[in-house]
Amino acid sequence: MKTVKPSRQLDSNGLPALRDGLLLKLHLHSDPKLLCVVRGALERLTEVLGFSPSDCRSVTRAVDEALTNIMRHCYHGRIDQPIEVSCRRLPRRASSGEGLEILLSDRGPAVDPAKLRGRRLDEIKPGGLGLHFIRQSMDTVEYQRGRGVNRFRMVKYFQHTGSPNC
């Protein structure tokens, strides 16, 4: 079977055009000390895109909590394992508005979907809040497993009617 590679498109400056709305891609190790670095990047990115201050905090919180879950539950505290963070701009579609898609990928063991539900909040006890924060903060939250990779996808749609700033 033949695989046909798509031709590389160039932008007006003759540089390879950014495909699929890619805005930012980070490769990091599963070290909790790097969480503040990713939060800083997400805070600036969401500001530049024109999200409200509250939505900037929501997106940053969701990414931080999802990375925390990967570090704790997929990599069990090992600090040298690979994680990829990809942020893309989603174009307006008939069924949805423009948004920001964030895809987190890791090579830890498969996640039990039953554990992705989070716990009830009517008990006062520590732990189990991260997934709840993620679901409250983002418009779409999905998990997929394929080829040894966990992919955690989150989307936040723009609330304003104008176009994003970049």
Partner 1 sequence: MQISARHADQTTIFDVSGDIDLANSPAVRKALLSEVREKRTPRVVMNLSKVRYIDSSGVASLVEGLKACRDLNLRFILFGLSPSAREVLQLSRLLKIFEVYDNEDQALAS
**Is there a contact between 49 and 160 (Cβ–Cβ < 8 Å)?**
no
Q: Is residue 159 a contact point for partner 1 (CB under 8 A)?
A: no
Q: How far apart are CA 129 and CA 118, in angstroms?
A: 7
Please pick, from the candidates 35, 41, 116, 149, the single residue that binds partner 1 as defined by CB under 8 A. 35
Q: How far apart are CA 68 and CA 34, in angstroms?
A: 10
Distance of CA 132 to the CA centre of its chain: 16
Radius of gyration over every alpha carbon of the chain, rounded to an integer in angstroms: 17
Q: Is residue 52 a contact point for partner 1 (CB under 8 A)?
A: no
Min dist. Cβ of residue 39 to partner 1 (A): 7
Please pick, from the candidates 33, 113, 148, 165, the single residue that binds partner 1 as defined by CB under 8 A. 33
Q: How far apart are CA 67 and CA 105, in angstroms?
A: 10
Please pick, from the candidates 6, 14, 113, 126, the single residue that binds partner 1 as defined by CB under 8 A. 126
Point out which residues pair with 26 in neighbouring strands: 85
Q: Is residue 21 a contact point for partner 1 (CB under 8 A)?
A: no
- Footprint of partner 1 on residues 55-74 (CB under 8 A)? 57-58, 61, 64-65, 68, 71-72
Which residue in 71, 24, 27, 32 sits closest to 48, CA to CA?
A: 24
- Residues in contact with partner 1 by the rule CB under 8 A: 32-33, 35-36, 39, 53-54, 57-58, 61, 64-65, 68, 71-72, 121-122, 124-127, 129-130, 132-133, 136-137
